[in-house]
Amino acid sequence: MSAAHIKCLNCGGMSPCGCTEPMPAAEVYAQRRAEATGADAQANVPWQWWAGPDDEYFKIGPCATREAAIQEAVNDGLCERRSEDNPEVWENCIHLVEAQQAPLRLADWIGADTALERADECLSDSDRVSCEYDDGPWFECTPAQEADLAARLRRACDEWQAAHGLIFTSTTFSATRNAEFVVVPSPVRKGDDQ
């Protein structure tokens, strides 16, 4: 998506729109951003199955079905353990979860709401201000101006990320459901004692 295909958060027109309205307050911006990206963006992320030896480490996945995740876990052997009931028997103790991995939006993580506070901290640690009688804050403004700055920073991040087609990801899940624990007998291999 290029910058020419990004909607203005003020008027809803395609950016650049020539809109002369001031940026909306942070609450309005957050509401419009949620409408534009929130529920719809999460709804477009597929639910996929993952498996692992415990409920924190899901190495197996993503899989299209629960059964595929179980089969991959059995084939991998990562979840294979001796049975607590019979140490002669091997079984797969598999933790399963259906999860989504939504892409990350830079705008959600840059700390736009605290930009002026961080700028004050960076300035106080620099040689630009003197130690005596120069305590700050230096970047003072009204709450409305600060909300406008935060909204503009978020919008700039969204436009930059979209213009370059950047998709940021992490290995953690953005949502989970249908977590369960299953025990599956290990397949008997040739040469194993029966």
Please, what's the b/e burial string for 67-77 (b: 16 or more CB within 10 A of its CB; e: otherwise)? Answer: ebbbebbbebe
Q: How many domains does the chain have?
A: 2
What's residue 63's pLDDT? Answer: 97
Are the C-beta atoms of 153 and 108 separated by less than 8 Å? Answer: no
Domain that holds residue 155: 107-164
Residue 114 inside a domain? The answer is: yes
Same domain as 138, residue 118: yes
Which pTM does this prediction carry?
0.62
Residues of the chain falling short of pLDDT 70: 1-42, 131, 188-194
Residue 26 inside a domain? The answer is: no
What's residue 193's pLDDT? Answer: 55
What's residue 126's pLDDT? Answer: 82
Rounded to whole angstroms, how far apart are CA atoms 151 and 169?
Answer: 23
Residue 54 inside a domain? The answer is: yes
Same domain as 112, residue 158: yes
What's residue 45's pLDDT? Answer: 92
Copy the structure tokens of residue 131: 């130690």
Same domain as 74, residue 55: yes
What's residue 149's pLDDT? Answer: 93
